[in-house]
Amino acid sequence: AARNPLQPEFHQAVTEVFESLWPFIAKNPRYAGHGLLERLVEPERIIIFRVSWVDDNHQVRVNRGFRIQHSMAIGPYKGGLRFHPSVNLSVLKFLAFEQTFKNALTTLPMGGAKGGSDFDPKGKSNGEIMRFCQAFASELFRHVGADTDVPAGDIGVGAREIGFLSGYIKKLSNRADCVFTGKPLQLGGSLIRPEATGYGTVYFAEEMLGAVKKSLQGMKVAISGSGNVAQYAIEKCMALGAEVVTASDSSGTVYDPEGFTPEKLAILMEVKNQQYGRIKDYAERVGARYLEGQRPWQIPVEVALPCATQNELDEQDALALIKNGAVCVAEGANMPATMEAAKAFEAAGVLFAPGKASNAGGVATSGLEMSQNAARLAWPRQEVDRRLLEIMRGIHAACIEYGRKPDGSVSYINGANIAGFVKVADAMLAQGVV
């Protein structure tokens, strides 16, 4: 903490991982004494830069850009960019740290990174978004490359922004190789990449339930967020026969006891992706109840999929979900449950999957996009989806292998942290002290 003051999110992520690792390392001394943990909490490189751009009123605006290149132990740096006013060093360091373990869990050769800016895309014109992206890319391009660092999207960075960023980097570098994943299809993107994080989270929840002889079929589900991850989690839940009764944004929650339908989801996607509107606008369009300023966790459901942002589900929320009979919680977002909430779920016997396991489908499919780009091929939808499902099942199996407790139950937190660590640590040990 003394070396990294005022970085609460980073401390939280590290504490959660290290609580799993200490007992494991005590039993597996081959991982002790190489400075592995000390090295893992120090990103290999942090780049911080000025992003200046001109808004529609001809005013000069200045934002801060970041890229945290956390670990290259098992492959090129890989992780998304986030554009949100809450972005700072602590948030990005926690995300890059988590990304390193998550990417290892996919079994694909990808290191860990994260980046972004405190730029707020809300209310900006298309031209402003493009000028900001170009200003950001004019520095980022020095640090990325298909075998060095391959960014992707995250909060506030979707297909539109990735199109602008990758187009400008292509112009500056005069190279057309894969410097971004999550690209629009026309620029070499992969089918299923937009769907992958949401689909993967639901595949993972279905695996967890399957392991205790249950399934999503007929279950009521609360989802938070209404962006990329939430939208496709809603779609896959419906496909598997579950009933999604909520969605949200940072202003409030829509509660629809009758559940989403494909028609309602199409309206949500139109409101969010084309009109850049609010969940309140969606609630008005479909005539559903809007709960201003509230989160979805007080509503009785069997499954909760938090898909918005970090620390959006606290201990009180967890206790409400437990009291109302929730049996499974899978994180679609990164670290949406506070540490106290995660502990409450495990203590109550609720199946709880940390994001580094359950939301790894996005980066896994980014890895598949990199493979397709390198081979100059485009796989059909079914092929990518089949591989995504296989990878999620593999992550689930790894969590069971490393997270099984003496009483036979599974701590997915321990399983994900240990399985990810073993892969990264073995690579670090093989490479010597670098």
Which residues are catalytically annotated? 114
Enclosing H/E stretch for 62: strand 60-71
Among 88, 148, 250, 371, binds ligand NDP (CB under 6 A): 250
Residue 13, CB-side half-sphere exposure with 13 Å CA sphere = 26
Q: Using the rule CB under 6 A, is 154 a contact of ligand NDP?
A: yes
Minimum Å distance from CB 197 to ligand NDP? 4
Tell me how far apart the alpha carbons of residues 78 and 111 are, in angstroms, rounded to a whole number. 6
Pick from 333, 341, 350, 370: which binds ligand NDP (CB under 6 A)? 333
311 marked as part of a ligand binding site: no
Q: How far is the CB of 204 from ligand NDP (least distance, A)?
A: 12
The amino acid at 47: I
Nearer to ligand NDP, 207 or 428 (CB): 207
Pairing of strands 77-83, 112-117: parallel
CB of 158 to ligand NDP, least distance (A): 6
Rounded distance between C-alpha atoms, residue 275 and residue 67, angstroms: 30
Binding span for ligand NDP by CB under 6 A among 59-67, 152-160, 211-219, 405-413: 152-160
Beta partners for residue 117, in sequence order: 65, 83
What ranges in 81-158 are assigned the alpha helix state H?
A: 89-105, 126-140
> Is there binding between residue 306 and ligand NDP (CB under 6 A)?
no
Single out the segment in contact with ligand NDP by CB under 6 A; choices: 6-14, 141-149, 246-254, 409-417.
246-254
Q: Which range binds ligand NDP by CB under 6 A, 162-170, 305-313, 370-378, 388-396?
A: 305-313
Residue (209 or 337) nearer to ligand NDP, CB:
337
99 is in an annotated binding site: yes
CB of 89 to ligand NDP, least distance (A): 16
| Interaction of residue 311 with ligand NDP, rule CB under 6 A | no
Measured from the CB atom, is 118 or 426 closer to ligand NDP?
Answer: 118
CA nearest neighbour of 164 among 189, 183, 192: 183
For residues 412 and 354, what is the distance between their CA atoms, to the nearest angstrom? Answer: 7
Min separation Cβ 196 and ligand NDP, Å: 6
CA 106 and chain centroid, separation: 13
Is residue 155 part of the contact set for ligand NDP (CB under 6 A)? yes
Cβ contact 179:142 at 8 Å: no
Alpha-carbon distance of 85 to 119, in angstroms, equals 6
User: Taking CB under 6 A as the rule, does residue 106 contact ligand NDP?
Assistant: no
Interaction of residue 156 with ligand NDP, rule CB under 6 A:
yes
Ligand-binding site membership of 197 (annotated): yes
221 binds ligand NDP (CB under 6 A): no
Does residue 229 bind ligand NDP (CB under 6 A)? Answer: yes
99 CB-near residues (< 8 Å, 6+ apart): 70, 78, 79, 112, 113, 114, 363
- CA separation for the pair 228, 272 (Å, rounded): 9
Q: Does 249 bind ligand NDP (CB under 6 A)?
A: yes
309 touches ligand NDP (CB under 6 A): yes
> Does 153 belong to an annotated binding site?
yes
Q: Does 252 bind ligand NDP (CB under 6 A)?
A: no
DSSP string, 268-330: HHIIIIIS---HHHHHHHHT-EEEET--GGGS--SEEEE-S-TT-B-HHHHHHHHHTT--EEE
CB neighbour list of residue 161: distance below 8 Å, 6 or more residues apart = 81, 83, 121, 129, 133, 153
Tokens read off for 130: 């493009």
Q: Is 99 in the site for ligand NDP (CB under 6 A)?
A: no
Among 65, 79, 153, 403, binds ligand NDP (CB under 6 A): 153
Cα atoms in the 13 Å half-sphere on the side-chain side of 407: 4
Q: Is 308 in the site for ligand NDP (CB under 6 A)?
A: yes
CB 232 to ligand NDP: min, Å:
9
- Contacts with ligand NDP: how many residues (CB under 6 A)? 24
| Candidate residues 225, 296, 415, 420; the one interacting with ligand NDP per rule CB under 6 A | 225
Which of 100, 106, 117, 197 binds ligand NDP (CB under 6 A)? It is 197
Burial of 245 (0-12, 13-18, 19+ CB in 10 A): buried
Please give the Cα distance from 162 to 109 (Å, whole number): 22
359 binds ligand NDP (CB under 6 A): yes
- Give the binding range for ligand NDP (CB under 6 A) out of 22-30, 284-292, 328-336, 420-428: 328-336
Annotated binding site for NAD(+): 197, 228
Binding positions for ligand NDP, rule: CB under 6 A: 153-156, 158, 197, 225-230, 249-251, 307-309, 312, 332-334, 359, 362
Residues belonging to the binding site are 78, 99, 102, 153, 197, 228, 366
